[in-house]
Structure 1
């Protein structure tokens, strides 16, 4: 049957129904009529007032109230505020249905992204704060719509229900929150049941659905029993039986998306049938007609799908090629007069069914096979023809893009395979000639052809190096409803995500490979790879200026810490001749010593090592031994070599010059600060501080408050005042060399003291590694 034949058949059916009802002038007086139209100019149009409508429905991004200035969301917000300004003086109630953000899109595909429940709640709360006058709200528009290019929730009914629950928590009494707002997909039990189950004990006051396909079928001469509407009415029983029901988006076609013009008579009769849907259930107390008129800049840009009650009025003043300019259509008269009304026919159980593919299925083959049941014998032909129409609901085309026929077997089963279909959303309808009325036409089956593999993006990853033995990776797919498989360190891939939590990770490099799998079964070809290294952090703190007497007495102080088992080796090196002249006891430098100075003839004059079987901190003292005559010099230049070897990691070597002197260190600290070295085996940060005991700080008149020593600040018992602070940050292993400068006002008083006992602290930590205190005392002569 061709498209024009379908149109003629629809017109003949409409005329026949009107004739049958000629004795009746029923009107839809009990149901309230609204207009679903997001165009801010609608309420100022010349034919608006004649409709006697005081309800409108607008679809907005959920984050419209917080969209940044000069963004697409901000422009949409400005149009909405003009809409509100026009509605207020007319006493029109504005219902808002939320949709995806215009600012956030899936990586790769650019498809809309469903917000988390927390993100939605934040957007909803901001909307209520900005627009408290808007109280009628559907938390999400068509959550079960399978077109991922526009609707991101088809795979997550529980999240859609969470939006309603979070909105109810934020606005428990002042808002009329509309539940469901489902797209008109017949038999969508899996989604609707899961949505209702996720509501728990909550009982919405209003349920809503869209029923474009009921009107499409009526206009095409198909079933006139309102199958979509009857289906959803059956779903709103039991615990939901006391709720009101709205059909908040439904309209009759003047022109289909594929350009077929149905015209005035067909649209008007279908609008009468639309009003008749209210006779199916007394709980239906509102129907929102979609839409008032299509708005466009010029005729060629008018929307192909035209369900308007008024013909378009292009901004350039030229009429559209298929209708007059800004003309109230016959459907406008039906809505304005609330009739005549054509009640739906009594339902006839369909003899023809489609059970393959399943309702709302996603397929990765472009030429699917359709199968189902049909009548056998009698007048029924032994063949079924299946037609495939582009789009669904409001976007369904009038002309099939594929058709195929298949024989009916003796067991009442039939199958047929169509030609190739492009990727997109389709509606399939099967027909068996010879069956009476609607029993020979199946219910619509909505499905998606998707042959493109998805991609994935890791939005949250662990640091490239971390001490944490656990990791969290969050991944997003380019297609809504996608699932994921993960393989850690080349293990067998298993289902995962989108939030992947890993525990008990050993030290070493880890590689997580993630593949997205879309609802059609397409698998991401090249995995998304997340690579990081778990390391064990070892740190050390050492001065680079010290008293020579301390170095030959108690030893040069050094503090080391390890997150796990580790080995720390520290040595002082000196040129052989200088060590002999200074009277220091010497040892040969081992060729295997990774910290040995390069070039020159060096010897070891002090050394100490630390081996820990578990994490912790310890002090080392690098004592320079002298001969019987003691040190024969007043100062010495040495090199300190640190080897940090944490468990499971290579050694980190740090070598620095250290000045040992009998006099001058305190004056040097007063003038230039105390130089220290903080060594780390991997990325780290550490606030470093130079402290003076409170008694010394008072004599120096150091500004600042005294603090009590404790484990929280790395200081021993007593009270201290900070002389200088700094912070080091490293992105990889090695040494940092800060100088702890003292306040200018204190320098002169510090430089004239004979000596000063100070203390240095550093709180070293790394990514994923808790902080540990490094601290040692240091007495400096003037």
Structure 2
């Protein structure tokens, strides 16, 4: 049963009103580069050359609130693993290991217990300077699901204990009463926090933006998407509650970047997680249990490349590959990154080849096509039949690439030339 929100004190009411004014009256934030990181619990993920190839520099770990005393060796091993690969750590606290308030008894720590445990963590692991007060606090598995006022107190204690640290205040999942939870947190806060966390799996899985937009409308300041990703399978009680679908997971990665693309208050985003396990209840791994890459890995790599090219939301995320069923067909995938999911324009597709390394590049036009996406279908798939003579040229080339010239009409944008890797056709 959900707890009834307590009556606001005068100071709490003023804090809530101040938070609302900051949301409504703050000037539009200037555009800034989105920082992307990886959230993963395992120590053996970080040395994988495929992860290193993504160029990420931020790593997120979820630990029990009493981890400094209950599992310091586990935390140290993870910190050592990420440090060895040049990642900056971010730690989020949550319930004790083995607790799940849906199935077992659980208890939220008192403020003094939380404060003592966090002080011990700070003393033991001084290399960590980025924290989340409580992970996915509105989830039914968490003992603080009905205690946003308690978490607001934790936040004040954590900030006081580490004034040099970056601290995420309320971190919620985009389901259930997340807006009410955040409003109660704000009402209980002595200050209006300026950094918040969201796990927007609902938005990216089901092709909507309402969860993200409602959080942005509720809280002031910046938003970190602390977990997002492509859910491949959900299982509960031995049965699938979300059927296995790697294509859906790939599309979810595209949507995550699309949602963040033109919302400048979203300044960081962590993708969860690296590798799925056989029979996992929650599998959003970019890597299959057998070690092979999933399509969602390619989606992440492609979106990161787009992000670094600073094309903006007008130019869709672009990738090309050969069809497995029709060898003569090239599949060009365009993922709209506009907030409303509506993109249109024209693309010119060219094959670029070199007969040998160092030789002059030869370019041959394949086709010129239009594209149009809509809010319910952000991804456009162009099926392009390539003449046999050109396929032979591409197949025999020492070097090959796809050059895509995009002329966006909606949203309006400038012409952009994108170069994409092209595999050898069959």
For normalisation by structure 2, the TM-score amounts to: 0.61
**Pairwise CA distance, 1:118:** 0.4
* Corresponding residue number in structure 2 for 1:59: 62
Cα pair 1:139 1:179 within 8 Å, conserved: yes
1:276 matched to 2:240? The reply is no
* Corresponding residue number in structure 1 for 2:327: none
Q: 2-side partners of 1:41 and 1:287: how far apart?
A: 22
Q: 2-side partners of 1:90 and 1:278: how far apart?
A: 26
Q: Deviations over 1:621-646 (max 9, x none)?
A: xxxxxxxxxxxxxxxxxxxxxxxxxx
* Corresponding residue number in structure 2 for 1:179: 169
* Corresponding residue number in structure 2 for 1:168: 159
1:119 matched to 2:110? The reply is no
Report the 3-state secondary structure (helix = DSSP H, G, I; strand = E; otherwise coil) of the residue aligned with 2:155: helix
The 1:279/1:115 distance shift into structure 2, 3 A limit, reads same
* Corresponding residue number in structure 1 for 2:149: 158
Among 283, 299, 312, the residue aligned to 1:334: 299
**Pairwise CA distance, 1:52:** 1.2
Unaligned runs of 5+ in 1: 1-27, 68-73, 219-223, 313-324, 349-435, 439-782
Q: 1-side partners of 2:262 and 2:186: how far apart?
A: 22
Report the 3-state secondary structure (helix = DSSP H, G, I; strand = E; otherwise coil) of the residue aligned with 1:40: coil
* Corresponding residue number in structure 1 for 2:50: 47
Report the 3-state secondary structure (helix = DSSP H, G, I; strand = E; otherwise coil) of the residue aligned with 2:53: helix
Report the 3-state secondary structure (helix = DSSP H, G, I; strand = E; otherwise coil) of the residue aligned with 1:113: coil
Q: 2-side partners of 1:272 and 1:189: how far apart?
A: 25
1:305 matched to 2:282? The reply is yes
Aligned length: 282
* Corresponding residue number in structure 1 for 2:89: 94
Report the 3-state secondary structure (helix = DSSP H, G, I; strand = E; otherwise coil) of the residue aligned with 1:30: coil
Q: 2-side partners of 1:182 and 1:88: how far apart?
A: 28
* Corresponding residue number in structure 2 for 1:213: 202
**Pairwise CA distance, 1:50:** 1.5
Report the 3-state secondary structure (helix = DSSP H, G, I; strand = E; otherwise coil) of the residue aligned with 1:44: coil
Cα pair 1:100 1:152 within 8 Å, conserved: yes
Cα pair 2:35 2:268 within 8 Å, conserved: yes
Cα pair 1:310 1:329 within 8 Å, conserved: yes
Among 218, 221, 237, the residue aligned to 1:235: 218
* Corresponding residue number in structure 1 for 2:134: 140
Cα pair 2:250 2:295 within 8 Å, conserved: yes
The 1:326/1:347 distance shift into structure 2, 3 A limit, reads closer
For normalisation by structure 1, the TM-score amounts to: 0.34
The 1:274/1:189 distance shift into structure 2, 3 A limit, reads closer
Among 210, 216, 229, the residue aligned to 1:251: 229
1:285 matched to 2:274? The reply is no
**Pairwise CA distance, 1:93:** 1.0
Unaligned runs of 5+ in 2: 1-30, 307-316, 318-334, 343-373, 377-426
Cα pair 1:273 1:344 within 8 Å, conserved: no
Q: 2-side partners of 1:276 and 1:253: how far apart?
A: 17
* Corresponding residue number in structure 2 for 1:539: none
Among 19, 41, 46, the residue aligned to 1:38: 41
**Pairwise CA distance, 1:266:** 2.6
Q: CA RMSD in A?
A: 2.7
The 1:43/1:207 distance shift into structure 2, 3 A limit, reads same
